[in-house]
Chain A
């Protein structure tokens, strides 16, 4: 056998072994157990602190709003406007969610975009409002 061959085999074997050793270090333990991802990540994500309470929870205290709003009936949750409010829902007095005031997030959903699903009624802002804020014609909870 030519003298190059064993050396080359040795060199490549070193590379392959090095790669496998490196691989065994970088591939997380639970990788591949349940699919092409780290199985532990499911638990880790489950352990993250919760931020949203869900609208049923809001309704236990704010039943008046929950019944009034046609938005809610149409599937728009309280917290999609007021922001994550779990802390408030657990202790209504000490922590307040965003009251929003004049700062209404309507255009975020209603501004016309070609790719937006048609179940959301859409308006062209400049044409529709005439420069006025939305609340001057719509009530926020029952638009």
Chain B
């Protein structure tokens, strides 16, 4: 951007290298996408590990959602850094003392050792059946996906089940690690008072759980409408309840963070106050806290306790889910963009203008945000997540 324009938009003392933000909207999406992965996975593990029967109908959908978003998670990073041909270098020559350089390994672990394995074990028996009942390319595809293990004896299937469970148990700390790691990246920047906080990984993790549950809820309802299937109200009620509890934890932790900062009131307090009451006012208090936090929380609680009709509940769940998703997106925005808006001198503020077109513009961001849904669509075509349940119900 033109330097003159930027100068006109800064106020107070801003060091020359701070006028233009380095981390753009794409870096806002990165923690958002990984958060959805971790959250969706944790919802799935409620079924597998904690035996939450009512949520079972969305178990597979949650896994596929996590996979679809995980596939897209590195895209904002690569889009932001440019040079995709060099992106692999951080894995080829890993620098163990750099948290950012460890991303490739955290990612690969989660993708390979957790998600793919769990999906493999969960679907193998059906993939064998699909392979046997089809021919041509389709047969080949499913055979490759089973890795050629066509054994569906009781013993083999029992192994699938036990291994799947074991992977999920490993998966929970991995999901916590994946997203805690993202929070750690910000929380460990000690020169930046907006980020530097040990609560950061926890806050990221909880908001990830919140957003992941909301995403699966919204996607599940949308798919049911699209396929003209009735909603499983037991399942919706259970997810709604989980969403409510997760929101309570998330909001109280965020409130704790705010109170902690206000009590600590370091030398940065004034400038952060200006930021919160200025540029970030609407996205923090309007959307993150109110529209995406308190408001859906109250609605969910009312729907739980007032014995509302199914139709009302469905509406409440759907819109609360959407609002929560928007709220968490704003939370990422407030963290990533907010952390770069004030000068290290603590004496000035700059601004960020989201461009529409361009490599890091709004259009690209929207593309990256919705691409996982397209991938999920394809995944659901290959590995239909609802078959087993509908057959069981019929």
| Residues B16 and A115 in contact, CB atoms below 8 Å apart | yes
| Residues A2 and B156 in contact, CB atoms below 8 Å apart | yes
| Residues A4 and B148 in contact, CB atoms below 8 Å apart | no
Residue of A nearest to B98 (CB): A36
B103-116 CB mask vs A (1 if < 8 Å, else 0) is: 00000000010000
Asked whether A50 is an interface residue with its Cβ less than 8 Å from the other chain, the reply is no
| Residues A15 and B112 in contact, CB atoms below 8 Å apart | yes
Contacts A4-B159, A12-B112, A36-B95 given; indicate if A113 touches B16 (C-beta within 8 A). Answer: yes
Residue of A nearest to B88 (CB): A26
| Residues B15 and A114 in contact, CB atoms below 8 Å apart | yes
Residue of B nearest to A6 (CB): B149
The interface residues of chain B lying within 8 Å CB-to-CB of A26 are 88-89, 92
A11→B144 CA distance, assembly (Å)? 11
A100→B16 CA distance, assembly (Å)? 27
Min CB distance B2 to A, Å, is 17
A11→B124 CA distance, assembly (Å)? 15
| Residues B95 and A2 in contact, CB atoms below 8 Å apart | no
Residue of A nearest to B121 (CB): A4
A25-68 CB mask vs B (1 if < 8 Å, else 0) is: 01100011000100000000000000000000000000000000
Contacts A2-B156, A36-B95 given; indicate if A7 touches B148 (C-beta within 8 A). Answer: yes
Min CB distance B304 to A, Å, is 42
Contacts A7-B148, A12-B112, A114-B13 given; indicate if A2 touches B92 (C-beta within 8 A). Answer: no
| Residues A4 and B16 in contact, CB atoms below 8 Å apart | no
Min CB distance A10 to B, Å, is 8
| Residues A2 and B93 in contact, CB atoms below 8 Å apart | no
Min CB distance A21 to B, Å, is 11
Residue of B nearest to A25 (CB): B92
Interface size of B as a range: 20 to 34
Asked whether A23 is an interface residue with its Cβ less than 8 Å from the other chain, the reply is yes
Asked whether A119 is an interface residue with its Cβ less than 8 Å from the other chain, the reply is no
Residue of A nearest to B347 (CB): A114
A114→B345 CA distance, assembly (Å)? 9
Asked whether B26 is an interface residue with its Cβ less than 8 Å from the other chain, the reply is no
| Residues A2 and B159 in contact, CB atoms below 8 Å apart | yes
A114→B13 CA distance, assembly (Å)? 6
| Residues B112 and A114 in contact, CB atoms below 8 Å apart | no
The interface residues of chain B lying within 8 Å CB-to-CB of A102 are none
| Residues B151 and A3 in contact, CB atoms below 8 Å apart | yes
Residues 88-143 (chain A) with a chain B CB within 8 angstroms: 113-116
Asked whether A17 is an interface residue with its Cβ less than 8 Å from the other chain, the reply is no
| Residues B149 and A3 in contact, CB atoms below 8 Å apart | yes
A36→B17 CA distance, assembly (Å)? 26
The interface residues of chain A lying within 8 Å CB-to-CB of B347 are 114
A15→B45 CA distance, assembly (Å)? 27
Q: Say which residue of B14, B149, B163 sits within 8 Å of A114 (CB atoms).
A: B14
| Residues A11 and B14 in contact, CB atoms below 8 Å apart | no
Q: Say which residue of A31, A113, A115 sits within 8 Å of B93 (CB atoms).
A: A31
A26→B86 CA distance, assembly (Å)? 10
Between A4, A7, A22, A32, the greatest number of chain B beta carbons within 10 A of the residue's beta carbon is seen for A4
Residues 1-54 (chain B) with a chain A CB within 8 angstroms: 13-17
Residue of B nearest to A11 (CB): B147
Min CB distance B101 to A, Å, is 10
Q: Say which residue of A7, A36, A113 sits within 8 Å of B147 (CB atoms).
A: A7
Residue of B nearest to A26 (CB): B92
Contacts A11-B147, A36-B95 given; indicate if A3 touches B112 (C-beta within 8 A). Answer: no
Between B89, B91, B149, the greatest number of chain A beta carbons within 10 A of the residue's beta carbon is seen for B149
The interface residues of chain A lying within 8 Å CB-to-CB of B88 are 22, 26
Q: Say which residue of A4, A23, A115 sits within 8 Å of B92 (CB atoms).
A: A23
Contacts A2-B156, A26-B89, A36-B95 given; indicate if A115 touches B147 (C-beta within 8 A). Answer: no
What are some 6 contacts across the A-B interface (CB < 8 A)?
A3-B151, A3-B156, A19-B91, A36-B95, A114-B14, A115-B16
Contact surface of B with A, Cβ cutoff 8 Å: 13-17, 88-89, 91-93, 95, 112, 117, 120-121, 124, 147-149, 151, 155-156, 159-160, 163, 345, 347-348
Contact surface of A with B, Cβ cutoff 8 Å: 2-4, 7-8, 10-12, 15, 19, 22-23, 26-27, 31-32, 36, 113-116
Could you list 10 further interchain pairs (A-B, Cβ under 8 angstroms) beyond the known A26-B92, A113-B16, A114-B345? A4-B163, A8-B120, A12-B112, A22-B92, A23-B92, A32-B93, A36-B95, A114-B13, A114-B348, A115-B15
The 9 A-B residue pairs with the shortest CB-CB distance in the complex, in nearest-first order:
A2-B159, A115-B15, A114-B13, A7-B147, A23-B92, A3-B151, A26-B92, A3-B149, A4-B149
